[in-house]
Amino acid sequence: MKYDYLIVGAGSAGCVLANRLSENSNNQVAIFEAGGSSDIWKVKMPLALLYTMHDPKYNWKYYSEPEPYLNNRRIFCPRGKMIGGCSSHNGMVFVRGNKDDYTRWENFGLKNWSYEKILPYFKKIETWSEGESQYRGSFGPLPVNQSKNSNPLFKAFLDAAKQAGHKINLDMNGEEQEGFGMFDTTMHQGERAGVAKYYLNPAKNRKNLKIFQNSFVEKILFEGKKAIGLQVKIKNKVENIYANKEVILSGGSINSPQLLMISGIGDAEHLKDKGIEVVNNLKGVGQNLQDHLETYIQQECKTPNTLYTYTKLIPKVLAGIQWFMFKSGPCSKSFLEAGGFAKSSPERKIANIQFHFFPSFVINHGLVDPDAHGYQLHASPNHPKSRGYIKLNSSDPYDYPKILFNYLQEEEDLKQTRECIHVARKILSQPALAEHAGKEVGPGSNATNDDELNEYIRSKADTAYHPCGTCKMGVDEMAVVDENLNVKGINNLRVVDASVMPEIPSANLNAPTLMIAEKAADSILN
């Protein structure tokens, strides 16, 4: 079989590419997804995201190696394994990042990735509920809606943020990011608004687009330094499928570097150690791994406005019925819809913390129900200095890679995380929350000095599920792709996903990933 473009991975970036590249009927496009359909109620129901996060049918369910600065804990790293990828199981918060993020990308030598150059692509993605403006789009495929969640805890939290000296921001994706408010979300009419539904589904009946589900890409095929196709296992049969124009990797920050290395592109010494023939020595493949590390500041709640209510059988059943019949009620919300961006200390030039307010306790990534009413403020430094890596365990493409984030390796990251806790405590102690606020559960009111906070962070901090950077674009010797996302030293091969981010943005990663894919599609076609 031959196609013009072969896309590996039908996640956020892959679905965008499949749609845009197949708009021209002359382009023959194939997309390969290791998982299956995401057209199930567990994906469509916003509050059901944990069901697929923990189901190996829909999730890769990776774990890191023991993290040396987090008391040697292995950190859960869920990645979507279905059509739509992580957009089919994420928290549906839609944040672009700070303008300054992309100025830094530009200063890395990536002149085409300045905020001014990428803003049109952010606008191209969305139809925003509040209407078009200089910063917002109104004709894009994806419905992006400012949350209207009426849970009284959200209003109390935002009032508390204001009382603590923070401003209210009605559009954190607009002119300025700093401030608190209701987040934009990818929820629409009571359902998840993922890329599978809004990018891939409108294109799936095009005669020039072929979607392969449950198809595992084992390696990239080369002729010298030119990518010519893929070795793919489809329905237990291994086939070679060839590309007339390009092979495009959109497997995400774990899978894309793994596939490059399995195929012979990466650090030569590492590949030789695994018995892999070297196609191109690129030392940066799998390096530069970044993530946002969240710390939960948890507080008991004296009012019954939390999700603890819906851990009980009858309220849970009634909420489910309401959603299935009317697409309304608590199951039609993600409850990660209030938060904001703030400076951890006055000397910071820009907001360096992101907060998510959640009206429940989260225990072990939602596997354990809370045993009481409570709420928590997720706090994470936006620009961690620590860097990790992805490495191969073996030359077997089915063998999970080694993942090490090295969270808190840099002392500055630990310092900023402590500052996060101080800012969070100030907000949570304001009068606006007084009628709801019980005692602080985590870190606990007795944890006040640096050593006590450090221990809480090392024992409890966890991933925000934002891995990126492992095939970074740039001009330095550790860059894997150039500014057009072409793999260095290889013809007809690109990487288009969150792995190309040189530095993690101040954002949940779905919106920046979609922007990257829209911009890449433009580059490929023009």
pLDDT digits (tens, 9 = 90+) for 401-458: 999 999 999 999 999 999 999 999 999 999 999 999 999 999 999 999 999 999 999 9
For residue 305, the domain's CATH number is 3.30.410.40
Q: What pLDDT, on a 0 to 100 scale, did the predictor assign at position 345?
A: 86
Q: Of the residues 188, 270, 356, 466, which is catalytic?
A: 466
Angstrom distance (rounded) from CA 464 to CA 417: 13
Element (H, E) at 181: strand 179-182
| pLDDT digits (tens), the chain, 526 positions | 999 999 999 999 999 999 999 999 999 999 999 999 999 999 999 999 989 999 999 999 999 999 999 999 999 999 999 999 999 999 999 999 999 999 999 999 999 999 999 999 999 999 999 999 999 999 999 999 999 999 999 999 999 999 999 999 999 999 999 999 999 999 999 999 999 999 999 999 999 999 999 999 999 999 999 999 999 999 889 999 999 999 999 999 999 999 999 999 999 999 999 999 999 999 999 999 999 999 999 999 999 999 999 999 999 999 999 999 999 999 999 999 999 999 998 888 899 999 999 999 999 999 999 999 999 999 999 999 999 999 999 999 999 999 999 999 999 999 999 999 999 999 999 999 999 999 999 999 999 999 999 999 999 999 999 999 999 999 999 999 999 999 999 999 999 999 999 999 999 999 999 999 999 999 999 9
Residues 402, 280, single domain; the answer is yes
> At 365, which amino acid appears?
H
Short-list 80, 47, 115, 9, CA closest to 350: 115
- Of 417, 440, 460, the residue that ends a domain is 460
Phi, psi of 390 (to 5 degrees): -115, 130
Angstrom distance (rounded) from CA 335 to CA 370: 15
Residues 302, 369, single domain; the answer is yes
Angstrom distance (rounded) from CA 5 to CA 24: 12
Q: Give me the residue label for tokens 């010298």.
A: 224
Residues 432, 519, single domain; the answer is no
Residues 166, 50, single domain; the answer is no
Residues 49, 160, single domain; the answer is no
340: left (phi over 0), alpha (psi -120 to 50) or beta: left
Residues 443, 298, single domain; the answer is yes
- Of 420, 439, 460, the residue that ends a domain is 460
Asked if 200 and 211 count as a contact pair (C-beta separation under 8 A), the reply is: yes
Residues 6+ apart with CB under 8 A from 129: 143, 144, 145, 146
Angstrom distance (rounded) from CA 139 to CA 322: 31
Facing residues of 356 across strands? 339, 378
- Of 438, 460, 482, the residue that ends a domain is 460
Q: Are strands 462-463 and 293-301 parallel, antiparallel or unpaired?
A: antiparallel
Q: Please indicate whether residue 466 is annotated as part of the active site.
A: yes
pLDDT digits (tens, 9 = 90+) for 494-514: 999 999 999 999 999 999 999
Q: What pLDDT, on a 0 to 100 scale, did the predictor assign at position 165?
A: 97
- Give 3-state DSSP helix, strand, coil % of the chain, rounded to 5: 30, 25, 45
Look at the alpha carbons of 66, 67, 73, 77 in this order and tell me if their dihedral is positive or negative. negative
Q: What pLDDT, on a 0 to 100 scale, did the predictor assign at position 346?
A: 85
Task: Tell me how far apart the terminal alpha carbons of the chain are, to the nearest angstrom.
Answer: 26
CA angle 174, 180, 186 (to 5 degrees): 60
Total number of domains in the chain: 2
Residues 237, 368, single domain; the answer is no
Residues 356, 425, single domain; the answer is yes
Our CA dihedral for 263, 468, 285, 410, rounded to 10 degrees, sits at: -150
Residues 235, 108, single domain; the answer is yes
For residue 495, the domain's CATH number is 3.50.50.60
Residues 345, 377, single domain; the answer is yes
The two structure tokens encoding residue 216: 């595992």
Residues 118, 246, single domain; the answer is yes
CA angle 336, 342, 348 (to 5 degrees): 150
Asked if 34 and 215 count as a contact pair (C-beta separation under 8 A), the reply is: yes
Residues 250, 321, single domain; the answer is no
**Which structural domain, as residue segments, surrounds residue 213?**
1-144+184-288+389-406+467-526
